[in-house]
Amino acid sequence: MRLREIPLTAWIGIFGILLAFFCAIFAPLIAPHGEREIVGDIWLAADSQYWLGTDNLGRDLLSRLIFGARTTLFVALAASVLSFSIGIFLSFTAAVSRGIIDQTLSRFNDLMMSIPTLIFALVVLAVLPQSLWILIVVMAVLDSTRVYRLGRAVALDVAVMEFVEAAKLRGEGKMWIIFREILPNTLTPLLAEFGLRFAFSILFLSTLSFLGLGIQPPAADWGGMVKDNKDGIIFGISAALIPGGAIAALAICVNMVVDWLLKRTSSLKGGRGDG
């Protein structure tokens, strides 16, 4: 693949994602003020001193937005990685084992998927202690059901290939077949799905924070910033729209990159089929 073959939309998406991660990594260095520092009156308009204005407590919105990128991306990325680790391992195990193991895992996954995700998360998070790692685990477990469904589908397609059957005849174990035979041949659709689940995790985390069960104040995250400043919309204050726009922009950037990956996968399959 050459760089010039990457479309403009994908470049825009890549730039947006890199910008968000740059802000998250170097937040203490590039933010004009501290994450919790009160710098002025509430809901000040944007000017040369406060580029995006201030929030409902008089904190600099730009600084909160930069620090919020760190929290939002860390939780969403950690939940996505954990959900994929759980979902891929269980789905590939089911596809290789078949029989009672496949049936048990698949029926349990169907049961979990039948429960509305948001309602289930709200109930569980309301009961458990407020902790960042509990939030990540709950998000990951709920999202792993979607990963399991895709992982099992792609693994079943590869598990019937001749090279997998040959590995079984050689006496290779299940873990060898999963990690050395099936996983390398399913990476592209899984990477595309990872991008979609990452975007969903950002939106899901923002929803939980808006409802008061996500990231807890005074820590900054984009969903919590929307919640904190929502009352300003009544008075024509746009403080809530800025983090909301950041959430939407990042989700769109991720989807642009995912769309390019999916189209590239389709073209590669078409090229192999024509040959």
* CA-to-CA separations, 186 to 42, 58, 158, 178, 254, in angstroms, rounded: 51, 49, 8, 11, 20
What's the confidence (pLDDT) of residue 13?
A: 93
Residue 163 in contact with residue 181, Cβ under 8 Å?
A: yes
Q: Which two tokens stand for residue 68?
A: 């919020």
What's the confidence (pLDDT) of residue 243?
A: 94
**What is the CATH number for 219?**
1.10.3720.10
Q: Which residue has the higher pLDDT, 58 or 262?
A: 58
Of 55, 75, 67, nearest in space to 23 by CA: 67
| pLDDT score of 196 more than 80 | yes
What's the confidence (pLDDT) of residue 273?
A: 46
| pLDDT score of 4 more than 80 | no
Q: What is the mean pLDDT of residues 221-236?
A: 90
The total of structural domains in the chain comes to 1
**Mean model confidence pLDDT for the chain:** 88
Range of the domain at 48: 3-274
CA torsion through residues 68, 70, 73, 75, sign = negative
| pLDDT score of 266 more than 80 | no
pLDDT in tens, 139-173: 999 999 999 999 999 888 887 788 877 877 787 77
